[in-house]
Amino acid sequence: MATFLQWRKFVFFDKDTVQDPLDNGKSFLLPNGISACDSGRGHIVLGDMDGNIWLLMRLLQLTNFQAYKLRVTHIYQLKQHSILVTVGQDEHGINPLVKVWNLDKRDSGSPLCTRIFPAIPGNKPTEVSCLSVHENLNYMAIGFTDGSVVLTKGDITRDRHSKTLTLHEGTIPVTGLAFRQVAKVTHLYVATLEKVHCYTLTTKEYPKVELDNHGCALRCSSLTDPSQDSQFIVAGDECVYLYQPDERGPCFAFDGTKLLARWHRGYLFLIIRNTKTRFGSGPSDKQLLTIYDLDNKFIAYSALFDDVIDVVAEWGSFYVLTRDGKMHILQEKDTQTKLEMLFKKNLFVMAINLAKSQHLDSDGLSEIFRQYGDHLYLKGDHDGAIQQYIRTIGKLEPSYVIRKFLDAQRIHNLTAYLQALHRQSLANADHTTLLLNCYTKLKDSLKLEEFIKSSESEVHFDVEIAIKVLRQAGYHSHAVFLAEKHMHHEWYLKIQLEDLKNYEEGLRYIGRLPFDQAESNMKRYGKTLIHHIPEGTTLLLKGLCTNYHPSGDTAEIESHLERNPFNKANSEEFIPIFANNPRELKAYLEHMIEVDPNSSQGVYDTLLELRLQDWAHEEDPERKKILQDEALSLLRSDNTVFDKALVLCQMHNFKEGVLYLYEKGKLYQQIMHYHMQNEVYDKVVEACKRYGDQEGCLWEQALGYFARKEEDCKAYISEVLGHIDQNNLMPPLLVVQTLAHNSTATLSVIKDYLINKLQRENQQIEDDERKICQYREETAHLRSEIQELKTSAKIFQKTKCNMCNSPLELPSVHFLCSHSFHQHCFESYADNETECPTCAPENRKVMDMLRAQDQKRDLHDRFNRQLQSSHDGFSVVADYFGRGVFNKLTLLTDPPGSKPVGNLEVNLQRDLLIRTKRNC
């Protein structure tokens, strides 16, 4: 029970008397004899003792109409409809009539009366004590002084659609009625002088509940707003009771004889008979109006009035109507003004409650909480202040609060505020850092674990910042937990490998990651892991570069395979990881080329270098031979880069590899030079034999090499000269000049070569002279034939065609060369009409030879002239070589084995070389 004396009193209303707009300075006067009143729909309704209904508009305009012949006793104005229900008398005696008026419709200038019926419970006449109408127009309840309640169901505005029944019977007068509608359930509260009942109207039997055995006087009951759960208020002489449909609610001890109880816009208005005495006189005839705020437990206004008729609410204000005909207006102060009044008295709790009841926005509430927090902070109540500051989160800048509690003595309060900031997901990275530092300074491991081990849906902080702070503070286990839980793989591995040195766990964790993350982390931490766990790291890298499957739960693996059916890293990118672990690197590379023969060239090159290093440092002959074969097998693969492999073989002096690569690259001269540098004479000659056909200059280089040797190399020189002589690779004079540099090479060395050369030259001369004689005889014979053809007739005795070998028939074609043809055969095969088809190829051959000789003769003369007149004979020869002059010209008509032109070219080249040699 709340005691009235404990409630604070305020003046939250401004009182004034309503002035007459037509006569300034005078009060507005109501009609005389007011007996009932109500308000709603933008006007105040008044009923007088003469049966008139007065409508008071906002601009204080009064209009009236005659509703009853005698008087009006009760008025009920619906708030949601322009329907007015009145009770009055048209004749003397006990004969009350209920009339329903539609204020929107007119009948002869007056509102339309839609229904009239007598208000009689049963057949016995009795006075009406109270009236209530449901806003849905389906229920009307009339209370009588004999204790009866008549309920009208249906459309109350029409007789045909409604029925009337006696709901309640008794002997005690009914003093209050009120309908309560919640969802689809309708209740009717019935108050008498001694009891309070509640009927459920949505049930057929209309069950009744007796709520209390305390009643109230007439006009001392009311119904609260739906915001207060539509409770029924009963104002007794000692207390004010609130009722729910099934039980009694709170009770407030407000002493005094209650004359009127009204509920308007969240306030309870009570008119109490004033029992205080004036100084030197008897009891006052004034009435005390008190306005209560039941939610916030304070008195909003209190004042004395003379004989109050009623209190109505309309046009945003409250009006107190008194018997002297005056209207007093109570205007509520605005919320900010009321709050300032409370702030001046440091009543912040009440201000907060008031702001909430007034539905103040969140910004306004936050400002109240801030001021309350500042007040408590100045008083030294830091715990209470931080609770108020917590309520400002989201509106007040956090730095305003944090600065106040940075002192080490107030770290607990700061921690509480930062926790609340994180719970509302409004903390930034700095706030997270500060909170974790608070935990670590307080060494509150339990709170720290509770903070970081919250569920995923309750995480209200930047996880990465939290990990950083915990790591810096030395809480590595907490940081690791947080990193693993929220899948911050980089931080987890950084802490495990750099701080905790837990390499086994780090390697295991990487093996459980998805492919992309496992690959990136192996590139980052691979060197560290290979140094401490070489075997396990190598095994993981092998899997990562072939077909990676993360280790862990089967469901996780299957999910990973669905997203990434095939994962394979670039094996070459991980080679730098093995910088100081050649043994593991070799095993890794050998595994890669075995699993994937198409591995990158870098893999093959690195593996070759490793094998060559092992070969170079191996001293066991058998083992060295095995390593040599392994290196050669790698060189023979198609994936080795020639240049890189050659450099590696040369760096490690791997003879077999160098020679193999020279041969593979057709670098025959380099092969021979390699043997020359190592002075392996047999290999020099062998190289000439093997590759001399592809590159003829090898024999000349070999001859020059042996000629420069001061050792006894006669056997090798003789062998080289034999091959040069056999293939006619060098002019004899050039051979002699080459061997002249060797003091050990005597004439006996080249004796056989020179003899053979001279013999072949002599043989060539004899053959040429014989051909000259033959050509002279043939020429003389041809001249005689030409002369004979010119001086005598030619008889053609051919009987067959030389083309088709068939008997000749006319027309036919005959040539002086004694060849005859059918005309149609001649036309089919002859290239022109003046040349014999049979002799044409031989004639063309001869003509080509003659033209070639003429060209050679002219070219030879021009070349000799340029060579003799030039100061740089070598450039002339090089120019002619570049133009292809010394290339052998092969005639298409040359029969196989014939060398008439070729010998001429050979002789010409020999002379040019000798002369060039001499001139240079």
DSSP helix/strand/coil, 119 = coil
- Indicate if the pLDDT at residue 747 is higher than 60: no
Q: Report if residue 703 sits inside a domain.
A: yes
Give pLDDT, residue 408.
67
Q: What is the pLDDT of residue 402?
A: 87
Dist CA 129 CA 87 (whole Å): 10
| Nearest to 441, CA basis, from 462, 410, 465, 468 | 410
Spatial distance between the Cα atoms of 920 and 911, rounded to a whole number of angstroms:
14
Would residue 206 be called left, alpha or beta, if left means φ above 0 and alpha means ψ between -120 and 50 degrees? left
Check whether residue 766 and residue 675 sit in a common domain. yes
Residue 461 has what pLDDT?
64
CA 186 to chain centre: 55
Assess whether pLDDT exceeds 90 at residue 754.
no
Does 914 have pLDDT greater than 50? no
Domain range for 806 is 798-847
Measured torsion, CA atoms of residues 368, 374, 377, 381, in degrees rounded to the nearest 10 = -20
Determine phi and psi for 58, rounding to 5 degrees. -65, -35
CB 119, CB 87: distance < 8 Å: yes
Q: Which of 3-7, 219-223, 676-680, 915-919 has the lowest mean pLDDT?
A: 915-919
Residue 531 confidence (pLDDT): 81
Q: How far from the centroid of its chain's Cα atoms is residue 821's Cα?
A: 94
Least confident of 95-99, 321-325, 683-687: 683-687
- Say which amino acid occupies 275: T
C-alpha of 637 from chain center: 45
Q: How far apart are CA 298 and CA 300, in angstroms?
A: 6
Question: How confident is the model over 35-46, as pLDDT tens digits?
Answer: 999 999 999 999
Rounded Cα–Cα distance for residues 360 and 296 (Å):
14
Determine how many CB atoms are found less than 10 A away from the CB of residue 468: 17
For residue 51, being part of any structural domain is answered with no
Same domain, yes or no, for 810 and 841?
A: yes
Q: C-alpha angle with apex 381: 379 to 384, nearest 5 degrees?
A: 130
> In which band, very low, low, confident or very high, does the pLDDT at 181 lie, cut at 50, 70 and 90?
very high
800, two tokens:
């067959």
- Are 720 and 688 in contact, with CB atoms under 8 Å apart? yes
Q: How many Cα neighbours within 13 Å face the side chain of 738?
A: 22
Inside any domain, residue 714: yes
Count of beta carbons in the 10 Å neighbourhood of residue 108: 6
Whether residue 755 sits in one domain with residue 681: yes
- Among 777, 810, 837, identify where a domain stops: 777
CA distance linking residue 132 with residue 140, whole number of Å: 6
In a domain, residue 626? The reply is: no
Report pLDDT digits (tens) over 283-336.
557 899 999 998 888 999 999 998 899 999 999 999 999 999 999 999 999 888
Is there a single domain that holds both residue 698 and residue 733?
Answer: yes
Question: Does residue 773 share a domain with residue 831?
Answer: no
Q: How confident is the model at residue 530 (pLDDT cuts 50, 70, 90)?
A: confident
Q: What percent of the chain has a predicted confidence (pLDDT) above 70?
A: 77
Q: What is the CATH number of the domain that holds 815?
A: 3.30.40.10
pLDDT of residue 731: 66
Residue 774: exposure state from Cβ atoms within 10 A (0-12, 13-18, ≥19): exposed
Whole-angstrom distance, CA of residue 348 vs CA of residue 379: 14
Q: How confident is the model at residue 916 (pLDDT cuts 50, 70, 90)?
A: very low
**Is residue 756 located within the same domain as residue 684?**
yes
Mean pLDDT over 179-204 rounds to 93
pLDDT given for residue 718 in this prediction: 62
708 vs 908, residue with greater confidence: 708
From 847, 866, 881, give the residue that closes a domain. 847
**pLDDT-derived band at 778, boundaries 50, 70, 90:** confident
Instruction: Report the distance separating Cα 508 and Cα 498, nearest Å.
Output: 15
Task: Assign 595 a pLDDT band (cuts: 50, 70, 90).
Answer: confident
Interstrand relation of 317-322 and 327-332 (parallel, antiparallel or unpaired): antiparallel
Q: What is the pLDDT of residue 853?
A: 67
Lowest mean per-residue pLDDT among 25-39, 557-571, 875-889: 557-571
Total structural domains within the chain: 2
* Whether residue 741 sits in one domain with residue 673: yes
Tell me the residue type at 498.
Answer: E
Q: What is the pLDDT of residue 569?
A: 77
For residue 86, pLDDT beyond 90: yes
The answer to whether the CB of 428 falls within 8 A of the CB of 418 is: no
For residue 758, the model assigns a pLDDT of 79
Boundary residue ending a domain (742, 777, 812): 777
Residue 854 included in any domain? no
Pair (771, 827) in one structural domain: no
The stretches of 711-839 forming alpha helices (DSSP H) are 714-727, 732-739, 747-791, 823-829
Model confidence at 838: pLDDT above 90:
no
pLDDT tens-place string over residues 636-679:
676 665 666 667 777 766 766 666 666 665 666 676 777 676 66
Residue 687 lies in a domain: yes
pLDDT at 303 (0 to 100): 93
pLDDT at position 509, please? 85
pLDDT confidence band for 70 (50 / 70 / 90): very high
**What's residue 886's pLDDT?**
63
| Segments in 792-814 forming alpha helices (H) | none
Token pair recorded at residue 276: 């205080």
What mean pLDDT comes out for the span 767-779?
88
pLDDT at 553 exceeding the cut of 80: no
Report the 10 Å Cβ neighbour count for 898: 11
Higher-scoring residue by pLDDT: 138, 824: 138
**Hey, which of 115-129, 624-638, 659-673 has the most confident mean pLDDT?**
115-129
- Is beta strand 43-48 parallel, antiparallel or unpaired with respect to 52-56? antiparallel
> Looking at residue 431, what is its pLDDT?
82
Give tens-digit pLDDT for 720-745: 666 665 666 676 666 666 666 655 55
Angle at Cα 17 formed by Cα 11 and Cα 23, nearest 5°?
Answer: 155
Residue 920's pLDDT is what? 35
Cβ atoms of residues 141 and 156 within 8 Å: no
Q: What pLDDT, on the 0 to 100 scale, is given for residue 888?
A: 53
Residue 563 located in a structural domain:
no
Based on the domain organization, do 677 and 746 belong to the same domain? Answer: yes
Q: Which of 614 and 222 is assigned the larger pLDDT?
A: 222
Measured CA to CA, the distance from residue 665 to residue 518 in angstroms comes to 42
Assign 645 to helix, strand or coil.
Answer: helix
Three-state DSSP at 129 gives strand
CA distance 700 to 716: 13
Largest interatomic CA distance in the chain: 194
pLDDT at 736: 67
Sequence letter at residue 626: I
Residue 810, number of CB atoms within 10 A of its CB: 6
Q: Is residue 831 part of a domain?
A: yes
**Which residues in 269-290 are b (16+ Cβ under 10 Å) and which e?**
bbbbebeeeeeeeeeeebbbbb
Asked if residue 758 and residue 715 are part of one domain, the reply reads yes
Average pLDDT value over all residues in the chain: 79
Q: CA of 507: how far to CAs of 44, 415, 515, 525, 541, in Å?
A: 86, 37, 14, 9, 11
Contacts of 892 (CB under 8 A, 6+ apart): none
463 three-class SS: helix
Higher pLDDT pick, 868 / 855: 868
Contact 113, 107 (CB under 8 A): yes
End-to-end CA separation in angstroms for the chain: 136
Question: How would DSSP label each residue in 717-751?
Answer: HHHHHHHHHHHT-S-HHHHHHHHTT-SS--HHHHH
268 phi/psi in degrees, rounded to 5: -100, 120
Overall residue count recorded for the chain in this entry = 920
**In terms of domains, do 772 and 805 share one?**
no
